[in-house]
A and B are shown apart, each in its own frame.
Chain A
Amino acid sequence: MSFTNALQLLISGIAVGAIYTLTAKGLFIAHLATHRLNFGQGDFLMVGAYLSLGLLLAGVPAPLVLLAVLAAMAILGWGLERVAIRPLDRAGDQTGGYAWVLTTAGCALILQNVVELVWGKSAQYAPPIFSATRNNVVRIGEVGIFVEELAIILVAFLAVTAFYVFLFRTRWGKAIYAVAFNPEAAALLGVNVKGTVILVFVLASMLAGISGFLVGPLVSVQPHMGLVFTIKAFAVASIGGFSNPLGLLAGGLLFGIAEAYSNYFDSAFGDLYPLIAVLILLAFRPTGLFGTRAADVR
Chain B
Amino acid sequence: MITLENVSAGFGVVQVLHDVSLAVPAGRLVSVIGANGAGKTTLLRTISNVVRPSAGRIVFDGTPTMASEPHRLARAGLVHVPQGRQIVPTLSVRDNLLIGAQRVAGLGAAEIETGLAREFARFPVLDKRQDILGGNLSGGEQQMLAVSRALMMRPKLLMLDEPSLGLAPQVVRTILDALRSLADGGLAILLVEQLAHLALEIADEGHVMQRGRVVISGPAEDLRKSRSLIDSYLG
* A residues in contact (CB < 8 Å) with B: 171, 174-175, 177-178, 180-182, 184-193, 297-298
Report which of A171, A181, A188 forms a contact with B88, defined as CB distance below 8 A: A181
- Contacting pair A181 B90 (CB below 8 A): yes
Inter-chain pairs besides A171-B99, A178-B91, 19 sampled, C-beta below 8 Å: A171-B103, A177-B95, A180-B90, A181-B88, A181-B90, A182-B86, A184-B50, A184-B70, A186-B99, A187-B69, A188-B50, A188-B71, A188-B79, A189-B74, A190-B74, A193-B71, A297-B89, A297-B135, A298-B89
Specify the chain A residue showing the minimal Cβ separation from B90: A177
Specify the chain A residue showing the minimal Cβ separation from B49: A187
- Contacting pair B103 A188 (CB below 8 A): no
Residues on B with beta carbons closer than 8 Å to the beta carbon of A187: 50, 69-71, 74
Report which of B70, B90, B98, B135 forms a contact with A188, defined as CB distance below 8 A: B70
The 9 closest A-B pairs by CB, nearest first: A185-B86, A190-B103, A189-B100, A190-B74, A171-B102, A187-B70, A190-B75, A297-B89, A187-B71
Residues on A with beta carbons closer than 8 Å to the beta carbon of B153: 189-190
In the assembled complex, how far is the CB of residue B150 from the closest CB belonging to chain A, in whole angstroms? 8
Residues on A with beta carbons closer than 8 Å to the beta carbon of B100: 189-190
- Contacting pair B88 A178 (CB below 8 A): yes
Residues on B with beta carbons closer than 8 Å to the beta carbon of A191: 71, 99, 103
Residues on A with beta carbons closer than 8 Å to the beta carbon of B89: 181, 297-298
- Contacting pair B86 A181 (CB below 8 A): yes
- Contacting pair B91 A190 (CB below 8 A): no
Residues on B with beta carbons closer than 8 Å to the beta carbon of A192: 69, 71
Specify the chain B residue showing the minimal Cβ separation from A181: B88
> Is B172 part of the contact surface with A, judged by Cβ < 8 Å?
no
Residues on A with beta carbons closer than 8 Å to the beta carbon of B135: 297
> Is B104 part of the contact surface with A, judged by Cβ < 8 Å?
yes
> Is B82 part of the contact surface with A, judged by Cβ < 8 Å?
yes
Residues on B with beta carbons closer than 8 Å to the beta carbon of A189: 71, 74, 99-100, 103, 149, 153
Binary A-proximity of B55-67 (CB < 8 A = 1, otherwise 0) = 0000000000000
* With known contacts A181-B89, A181-B90, A188–B74 Cβ distance under 8 A: yes
List 16 A–B pairs whose Cβ atoms lie within 8 Å, in order of A's numbering. Answer: A171-B102, A171-B103, A174-B91, A178-B91, A181-B88, A181-B90, A184-B70, A187-B71, A188-B70, A189-B71, A189-B99, A189-B100, A189-B149, A190-B153, A192-B69, A297-B89
In the bound assembly, the distance between CA atoms of A40 and B161 in angstroms comes to: 42
- Contacting pair B149 A188 (CB below 8 A): no
In the bound assembly, the distance between CA atoms of A186 and B89 in angstroms comes to: 13
> Is B28 part of the contact surface with A, judged by Cβ < 8 Å?
no
In the bound assembly, the distance between CA atoms of A190 and B104 in angstroms comes to: 8
Binary A-proximity of B68-80 (CB < 8 A = 1, otherwise 0) = 0111001100011
In the assembled complex, how far is the CB of residue A242 from the closest CB belonging to chain B, in whole angstroms? 13
Residues on A with beta carbons closer than 8 Å to the beta carbon of B79: 188
Residues on A with beta carbons closer than 8 Å to the beta carbon of B102: 171, 174
Residues on A with beta carbons closer than 8 Å to the beta carbon of B69: 187, 192
In the bound assembly, the distance between CA atoms of A174 and B89 in angstroms comes to: 12
> Is B8 part of the contact surface with A, judged by Cβ < 8 Å?
no
In the bound assembly, the distance between CA atoms of A184 and B51 in angstroms comes to: 11
Residues on B with beta carbons closer than 8 Å to the beta carbon of A171: 98-99, 102-103
In the bound assembly, the distance between CA atoms of A189 and B103 in angstroms comes to: 8
Report which of A174, A193, A297, A298 forms a contact with B99, defined as CB distance below 8 A: A174
> Is B48 part of the contact surface with A, judged by Cβ < 8 Å?
yes
Residues on A with beta carbons closer than 8 Å to the beta carbon of B81: 188
- Contacting pair A174 B80 (CB below 8 A): no
Residues on B with beta carbons closer than 8 Å to the beta carbon of A193: 71
For A186, A188, A189, the residue with the greatest tally of chain B CB atoms inside 10 Å of its CB is A189
In the assembled complex, how far is the CB of residue A37 from the closest CB belonging to chain B, in whole angstroms? 18
